[in-house]
Chains A and B, each alone.
Chain A
Amino acid sequence: MTVVTGVTCPVCGTFCDDIELVVKDNVITDVRNACAMGAAKFLNYSTHRNLRPLVRKNGELVEASIDEAVKRAAEILVDATYPILYGWSNTSCEAIRVGVELTEEVGGVIDNTSTVCHGPSVLSIQDVGIASCTLGQLRHRADLIFYWASNPWSAHPRHIERYTMFSEGRFQKSAWRGYLSRLGGIMSRKRLRRAANLVLRRDVFATPEVERRLPYSMFQKKRKMVVVDVRNTRTAEAADYFLQVEPNKDYELLQAFRMLIRDEELDVSEVAGVPVEILEEVADVMVGCELGILFFGVGLTMSEGKLRNVDAALNLTRDLNSHTKFLIMPMRGHFNVTGADVVFAWQTGYPYAIDFSHGYPRYNPGETSVIDILCRDEADASLIIASDPVAHFPQKAAQNLVKKPLIAIDPEVTPTTLMADVVFPSAFVGIEAHGTAYRMDHVPLPLKKIVEPPKTCLPDTEILQRILHKVRKLRREQN
């Protein structure tokens, strides 16, 4: 039995690197420090997976040798005139580097999952820029933390504990004591409510009134947290104040804050369902903080307004910097989606949706992003790695995707691998293969190899290299 320390967790963008794993006979038997998502992956990753490469013959996926699968995949890519290579956010930077080279070689389009999550954030950043930082900066200094349209308690479970409210910094102390007392209050209220509902047989607390004043803790000189969301979440319960915004009204709310911060008057009594006097008080807290941070999630990027919402949020933090220090950061989802953007950018100049069909990198999201290409039915083959678009893309895009030859590289069995023509079962990067990945704040960390993969499961990097090698060989033969 060995204990491996300092393991990075290949699940979400928080990318914790303090995981300890107990390994016995090439099997992970225990996980320490990880959240439920991380522990579940480390303990159960190999319970449901493909072990052999598959190639579709006469409509059936049949087992094949790795060489046969590589040959078939290379043939598909060489025969295609406009293939798409999509996914990348759940694999290592080393694999992504080969991926860009392969796309360039076959003159295709490469895109990562930013296209369906923070793609609009990238477009806004290209419009106005972004004032950001690494997460430790916030642990040490931030005294006002906004989570806007994101729910880290469920989606990035250790984010609050490691980097914001409950972390201990040099200049700011952890606020967990305040949370505990608040939690006590919340729990007893819930109990009361349940009891009252049982007795009276109706939901007595169904629509709580919006509080007309901020709680006392918001005016104290200590760390505080505000959550802005369309519904009450676990994160909202942990916050000092929860601002409930009406769905699709984030833009109005952000612009209202901008006006207040610029000392302009609002001629209405409420904005996006929030009374103006509350907004004024929150704006005062923003201006008066030592260092504020606004984390925003896909609730902002994928609701009505999309990139314009993010524009408003970025501009709000820009404005705030003339009063105090205020930063902003997107809550990236996959553990290496940031890395995918980063590698694409240093090799091609652009972070996603890159078209190599002219022989040089071209970027025009809306035209060169995969969903748009698929909806127009322009792609004639695809390679999907570490992603499951058949399950998650719009129906029309998914239909057009599976109509054409499809190569899937994935350790798991997914709807995409089930519909594919060639399937490469790969090793789990971060568990069975090493590499590099980028945390949501652009800090690069190593992915470790903890156990040996099954013999038939190669790392993504090696599978891609073999395909690239074969493609080059086939193209040389054709010329």
Chain B
Amino acid sequence: MDIAIKDGKIVEKVDEKKAEVVDASRMIVMPGGVDIHCHIAGAEVNSGRILRPEDHFKDVEAKTALTRSGVGYSIPSTFTTGYRYSRMGYTTVMNPSMPPLEARHTHEELDDTPMVDKATYPLLGDWWFVLEHLRDGLLEECAAHVAWMMSATKGYAIKIVNPGGLEAWGFGRNVKNLDDPVRYFNITPREILRGLCRVNKLLNMPHTIHVHTNNLGQPGNYLTTLETMKCVEDLAEEGHPAIHITHCQFSAFKGSDWGTMSSGAEEIAKYVNHHSHVTLDMGQVIFTDTTTMTADGPFQYGLYQLSGNKWVNHDVETETSAGIVPFRYKRKSAVHATQWSIALELALLIKDPWKIYMTTDHPNGGPFTAYPHIIAWLMSGVARKKTMSKISKRARRKSLLPSIARELGFYEIAIVTRAGQAKALGLKQKGHLGVGADADVAVYDINPELVDPSKKYKTARRAFKRAAYTIKGGEIVVKDGQIVRPVFGKTFWVDVKTSLPIEVNDDIKRKFREYWTVEYENYPIPDRFLHVPAPIPVKAEV
């Protein structure tokens, strides 16, 4: 079968005499990879780069005639990030946490991240406007403000991190559960989640709310996660997801303390298998030295106390917080090994691959360059067993993995690494190779008819590490794992049209000087600030 490409799109057919032909026989052809959640740009990522010169020394990329130089490992410089994604056949990457006040920074970095299309999610779960409007029951006004914010920060989806907890962290506190009210605001995390879920629907956003749960990284938090999924159950329309729980592994711990910590994957998988309103991504842990960074300030402080490593905190006025702690996941640590197991259990126990996607929550669970390893674990029981034999004995005893025989096939891998993610993101032109799709194609040098990945997992791993071809927007950009043509990607943002824009502007203007330390007119990012802006127009119901 042939795939015809013209003007950056997949078309019915082209003039075969004039067209350039890429011979992909005996290879796997997939749509370009889509990553739904990886921290590659912005204030916190860059603070991580500054914090960790030791992370860069061991992994450098020299300048070539075509590419810029840079450094790699857990927090690569921007150019290197783009090149490395492209070499693995990825063409679309989502940066999941952007403090709205520092949106300009995120977009400057995304502009310097070549080879991939990208978008970024503003952090809105603890924004004072959201808290106040939801507390007062002003759902439509809240929606209009969120719409303003999407356009002002050129954002793509509503990101919620530890709802309520980040505002409390402003004074060094946290919230304990979904019904623990936020001090001074008299609103609970449950109300924030439900409110923003309804706002998301009112605005017809392409993606659902993107949620990092309360109590992340605490033993026993799988109950909070189940509660979080349940709390929006009634808001979902039949068959449509209403919530995305991100890096679910970190929110699926059972037990009462670190000594008794075990996997809550079975319970979460059971819930997800019986409900259609939830999507998840894995947040796989890799046994390596990495850098954790989230907007969850209290969690990062806890991690600093646990590890004693260096710690960065960055609270952002009126909006959010952030933290960074370098971290090494060790095979022989029972907790770390259990975390490794949990993510795989989730991916294998959830029956429908359209509900769970492959991520490492780069760089929190490990760098994205480890994706081929995860693919090998998902496709091969032998690969899992091999790693299992090297991990902590206690974790091995508790792990559910030996009891799971399931091995994903290439089609399922295509779903968990691109098709499912594109669908969850509402990117209609990505994640498939149908006519009209963007001509983002990855070709991997492995013959699915001859190679059994469950046995030859190393061959599969090698193939997914270096794409034979990556085609971005109809141009061959990678050949045999080497960049052959550097290109800029687009930056998607959601341009929500509401019926109330003028009143919103007035309200925000009035409160602007009270809430922030910058002027109203210096806050929004103009469209021309982005290198290649790609607004997605959406008509809201307010």
Q: What is the interface of chain A, defined by CB distance below 8 A to chain B?
A: 5-6, 8, 17-18, 93, 97, 101, 104, 122, 125-137, 139-141, 162-163, 167, 170-171, 290-291, 318, 321-322, 324-325, 327, 341-343, 345-351, 356, 358-363, 436, 438, 442-446
Contact = CB atoms under 8 A, between A and B. Distances in A.
Given A6-B522, A141-B170, A347-B77, A356 B69 contact: yes
A6 B78 CA distance: 31
A348 B57 CA distance: 11
B105 A133 contact: no
B317 A325 contact: no
Contact of B41 (A122, A325, A346): A346
Q: Give the secondary structure class of A's interface.
A: mixed
Contact of B49 (A141, A162, A346, A445): A346
B311 A361 contact: no
A348 B171 contact: no
Contacts of B313: 130-133, 327
Given A290-B171, A324-B172, A358-B62, A6 B50 contact: no
Contact of B53 (A291, A349, A360, A445): A349
Contact of A137 (B61, B71, B79, B315): B315
Contact of A347 (B45, B70, B172, B317): B70
A139 B517 CA distance: 8
Interface string B282-312: 0000000000000000000100110001111
B51 A346 contact: no
Given A135-B317, A359-B69, A360-B60, A18 B311 contact: no
Contacts of A322: 305
A131 B311 contact: yes
- 10 residue pairs, one from A and one from B, having the closest CB atoms: A136-B317, A325-B172, A129-B310, A349-B71, A133-B315, A359-B62, A444-B104, A136-B517, A131-B313, A360-B60
Q: Which of B63, B321, B325 has the most CB of A within 10 A?
A: B63
Contacts of B411: none
Contacts of A137: 170, 315-317
B172 A321 contact: yes
Contacts, number: 182
A348 B515 CA distance: 35
A97 B108 CA distance: 10
Nearest to B106: A444
A194 B76 CA distance: 62
Q: Give the secondary structure class of B's interface.
A: mixed
Given A126-B51, A361-B69, A444-B105, A345 B46 contact: yes
Nearest to A171: B184
B347 interface: no
A349 B62 CA distance: 13
Contacts of B520: 6
B108 A93 contact: yes
A151 B20 CA distance: 66
Nearest to B52: A126
Interface of B: 41, 43, 45-47, 49-53, 55-56, 60-63, 68-71, 75-79, 101-102, 104-105, 108-109, 112, 170-172, 184, 301, 304-305, 309-318, 321, 324-325, 514-522
Nearest to B309: A129
A442 B105 contact: yes
A346 B317 contact: no
A132 B314 contact: yes
B290 to A, nearest CB: 15
Nearest to B79: A347
A312 B321 CA distance: 24
B56 A359 contact: no
B49 A349 contact: yes
Contacts of A127: 310
Given A126-B53, A133-B316, A134-B517, A349 B105 contact: no
A134 B61 contact: no
Contacts of B46: 342, 345-346
Contact of B50 (A122, A128, A140, A356): A122
B77 A349 contact: yes
Contacts of B309: 129
Nearest to B105: A444
Given A346-B109, A360-B69, A361-B69, A129 B324 contact: yes
Contact of A140 (B317, B321, B522): B317
Contact of A104 (B68, B78, B310, B515): B68
Given A132-B314, A445-B518, A345 B108 contact: no
A347 B311 CA distance: 23
Q: Which of A131, A167, A362 has the most CB of B within 10 A?
A: A131
Nearest to B75: A349
B488 to A, nearest CB: 14
A43 B62 CA distance: 46
B522 A141 contact: no
A133 B169 CA distance: 12
Contact of A125 (B51, B109, B170, B305): B51
